[in-house]
Structure 1
Amino acid sequence: MDSAYSVNSVSSDEIDLFDLIDDIKEKWYWLVGTVLLSLCLALVYAYTTTPVYQTEVVYKEVSDVDLLPLNQPRLQGIFSLSREKAFKEVRALARSGNSKRAFYNQLLAENNAELSALVYEEKLTEEQNFVLFSERFTYADPGAKETDVLLRIQFELSDPQWATQLLNRYSDFILQRYLDEVRNTLELTRDARLEALELEADGLRTKYLAQKNQRMLMLEEASSISASIKQKMPFYSGNNNALLGSQPPLFMMGQTVINSELSQIRSRAEHGEDAYISGLPELNWKIQNLKKAEVSWDKVRFVQLDQSAVLPLKPVKPRKVMIVALAGVAGGMAGVVFALLAAAQARRRNSERGRRAALQGC
């Protein structure tokens, strides 16, 4: 009995399936009409929607040679920049909302009517316009399996020529902005280091002048004492030195020696006193080297522009073939549903008529 029940169930299922197919065949015009309507709407949308073009620039890491002007020996301990750090900072700057806002404001300040029509809508607020402009940018970093370190910056706009021009300008804007940041950082760091070295040098000079003035005062005092006792020549000799000690009073050196030392100390200013200050010549050498350090900025590259933006040949949106294909599939599915519903409605009406006729016959 179970077998018979199974066969009957299968037969019932098959009949139901064939009934569905018969219903679709009977109401075929619903299926065809829905598909045709969907295709027509898709074609209208695909050919009336404003096309969107996309272009891109590609950044890669530079070699160490491209950063040698910055990493020169004269700037060691003051400033250095690795290629990894340079690429990371340029990538962050290119993604930064502040960078895009500054670039967008620069574009609006040009008051170009053709450009403004593409990137600015009067009915929107300034913030809303900027958000729409910012969303035109997309970024693609390499995957984990890729060996090259690169960054793709893509930009979309309805005008292919303006899209190409704006993305190249944005790329130049980012590189120039990063160059300005690096240059400003270098100058501030170097100025701070120069100021510290010069303060240290001034400290050595101050200390030297204090010791010099103290020595001159002591010599002048000793000279007066020697003159008062009429001590012209040194009082001590080699033998007397042993008796009097290794450091006898200055006046015992005699007025002639004392005045000679005073004269020598006063004449140092004519030849430059920095040479007499311990540690100062080395500091002056560091200061001069740091002042002479010049960076050939035109030879510095922070990232490699592997690909600049080129004019796109065809739009990326709308994808007409995909839209039409999806519309056909969706229309077919909707048409099947409509055909089945129409057939079910027709059966219901027939059933109602039969029931009414049976009641009237009774």
Structure 2
Amino acid sequence: MSSSFRAPPVSPSDEIDLFTLFQAVWRQKKLISLVTAGVVLVAGIYAFSTTPEYQVVSILRPAAINQLDALNRSEIYKLPPGDALNRVGASLESYEARLGFFRANQKLFSRFERPGRTLEQSFEEFNRNSINLVLPDPRKADSLSAYIKLEMNYPKGVDGVSILNGFVDYAIAIERQQIAADIEVIVKNRLNELSEKVKAARASYDMEKEARIASLLESDNLKRAQLQDELKALRTQLKTERADRVTQLDEAIGIAQSLGIRRPTAPTSLGDSDRVNSQVVMRTEVNNQQIPLYFMGTDALAAERAALKLRKSDDFTAGRIAQIAKELQLLQSNREIEILGLRENEDLFLQGVQPLRAEMARLRNLNIDISRLQLVTIDKQALEPLSPVKPKKALILLAALMAGLMLGVAFALIRHTIRNSNAIVANLSLLPSSSDPSKKTADHTFDRS
């Protein structure tokens, strides 16, 4: 006889039965309840022991155009409202600005200080985890205007409202100071530029004045030299003419002596002198020829010659000499040069500098109250929050409840599976062995129930 073991075929009842699993899980509801309670307890301890974290928000929008009108009308600095908002936003995001505010208000940040940390290390923790700058998404057109939102998360015990509002005011003040510094530099540079232009105009005027004086002096010197040359030539001419006249008189005296003419006479008188007649005859002589000089007679000619030899100067004989003397006298002083030299306020005579002076006066009197300049509009200031944003206790407890239920069910299923596996192993161990000689049963069948 032989013994054999025949495994039964798998029946549909061997597949996973959800109802059976549910019964198995339900029988272990205490285990599930304990696991769920434990998870909820741990979550509750975390939720109620964690330091609450609050959040405050401040929203900035572009300032009205009239708020920046005085600055933009100054013609030296252009700042549209959008650019002003961007500048303030850049300052709010600046590491240097945040560190400066942190240093200036250390009492507000005492909660972030830790023993053994430097001031910069304490600030780094605050800067990394606390303040967040939010800008509108350029791909979305649902925003009616540009804005900047500043969010700050802080633990309980920190005056977050004062920190955020103070930081916004600090950033605006920084930009105001920067604008004031920019305006000061721009005005200074413009004034220096205008001053250099005025100096250039003054230098040009001085050069033109000196050139004018030099031109006048040169013209006077030239005219004076010409007049002196003319006077010298004229005197030489007069002297030559006087010498020539003396020579003519000598010749005429010789002729008059040879003719016996002592007194002035006419040519016709020479013919009548030979006639002896007591009758007085009067003649009229018409002659278009000049009467020779010797007819003046020796007495007159000798007298004239003596007078010419005694003459010291011939200047009185030519009217041009007196005219030259007058012109030389006028050239002794040039009134235009004297007036140019006597000018006291020469800036009045500069050409093209009046607009420059007007611009310099405008820049010097430029008065923009930077302290009252509104760069942005604070649409929403940070307000004291009503409740913390972290931890969300209800959400944590609900999530812990669901997680505990799932974990408890998983434990129950694992326990049920382990029990079934142990039962199957135990049943298999009760089957007879085929090599046992004490077993005489020819055919043994094991049916699984």
If the length of structure 1 is used for normalisation, what is the TM-score? 0.81
Residue equivalent to 2:299? none
Residue in 1 that maps onto 2:335: 260
In structure 2, the partner of 1:4 is none
**Residues 36-65 of structure 1: CA deviation (Å, up to 9, x unaligned):** 111111111111100111112111111110
Q: Which amino acid aligns with 1:90?
A: V
Aligned residue type for 1:267: L
Mapping for residues 189-268 of structure 1, pairs under 5 Å:
189-223=186-220, 255=330, 259-268=334-343
Aligned to 1:57: 58
Task: Summarize the Cα distance change of 1:94–1:25 in structure 2 as closer, same or farther, 3 Å threshold.
Answer: same
- For the residue of structure 2 that corresponds to 1:314, the secondary structure is coil
1:241 match? none
Is the aligned partner of 1:157 residue 2:154?
A: yes
Q: Are positions 1:97 and 2:86 aligned together?
A: no
Question: In the alignment, what sits opposite 1:122?
Answer: 115
Alignment of 1:243-322 (within 5 A): 255=330, 259-268=334-343, 270=344, 272-322=345-395
Alpha-carbon displacement from aligned partner over 1:275-320 (angstroms, at most 9, x marks no partner): 2121112211111111111102243211001122211222111111
Mapped to 2, the partners of 1:141 and 1:282 lie a distance apart of 46
- 5+ residue gaps, structure 1, are 1-7, 232-251
| 1-structure distance, mates of 2:35, 2:176 | 60
Specify the alignment match of 1:249 in structure 2.
none
**Alpha-carbon contact 2:62-2:81 (below 8 Å) kept:** yes
Q: Quickly say closer, same or farther: Cα 1:194–1:358, change in 2 above 3 A.
A: same
For structure 1, which segment, 132-141 or 116-125, has the greater mean C-alpha deviation from structure 2 after superposition? Answer: 116-125
1:222-255 CA-partner distances (Å, limit 9, x unpaired): 4556667789xxxxxxxxxxxxxxxxxxxx8983
Please tell me whether the aligned partners of residues 140 and 151 of structure 1 are also in contact (alpha carbons under 8 angstroms). yes
- Check if 1:180 corresponds to 2:177: yes
Query: How many angstroms apart in 2 are the aligned matches of 1:212 and 1:162?
Result: 73
CA shift, 1:104, in A, is: 2.1
- Structure 1's 229 and 89: CA in aligned 2 closer, same or farther, altered over 3 A? same
Moved more, 99-108 or 120-129: 120-129
Q: Distance in 2 between matches of 1:66 and 1:342?
A: 75
Counterpart Cα distance in 2 of 1:103 and 1:192: 31
1:66-101 Cα offsets, whole Å, 9 max, x none, are: 0012112xx31x211101111111112212222222
Shift of 1:160: 5.9
CA RMSD of aligned residues (A): 2.7
Q: Which has the larger radius of gyration?
A: 2
Corresponding residue number in structure 1 for 2:429: 356
Residue number in structure 2 paired with 1:20: 21
Distance 1:354 1:261 in 2: 142
Inter-CA distance 64–207: structure 2 relative to 1 (3 Å threshold): same
1:161 and 1:311 in contact (8 A); partners too: no
Structure 1 window deviating more from structure 2 (49-58 vs 220-229): it is 220-229
Partner secondary structure for residue 59 of structure 1:
strand
The percent identity for this pair of structures is 23
Match of 1:71 in 2: 72
Q: Tell me the matched-pair count.
A: 323
Cα gap change, 1:35 to 1:303, in 2 (>3 Å):
same
**Is the CA contact 1:52–1:157 (under 8 Å) kept in the aligned structure 2?**
yes
Does the 8 A contact of 1:223 with 1:258 survive in 2?
no
The alignment's TM-score, normalised by the length of structure 2, stands at: 0.66
Aligned residue identity for 2:126:
F
How far residue 336 of structure 1 moved from its aligned partner, in angstroms, is 1.3
Match for 2:414: what amino acid? L
Q: Pick from 119, 131, 150: which aligns with 1:137?
A: 131
Unmatched segments (≥5 aa) in structure 2: 1-10, 229-326, 440-449
CA distance in 2, matches of 1:359, 1:23: 31
- Following TM superposition, by how much is the alpha carbon of 1:26 offset from its aligned partner in structure 2, in angstroms? 2.3
Letter in 1 for 2:66: V
Q: Which residue of 2 aligns with 1:245?
A: none
Q: Which deviates further from its counterpart, 301-310 or 93-102? A: 93-102
Contact 2:224 2:331 in 1 (8 A): no
- The residue type equivalent to 1:335 in the other structure is G
Q: Is the 8 A contact 1:226 1:254 kept in 2?
A: no
CA 1:148/1:45 → structure 2, altered by over 3 Å: closer, same or farther?
same
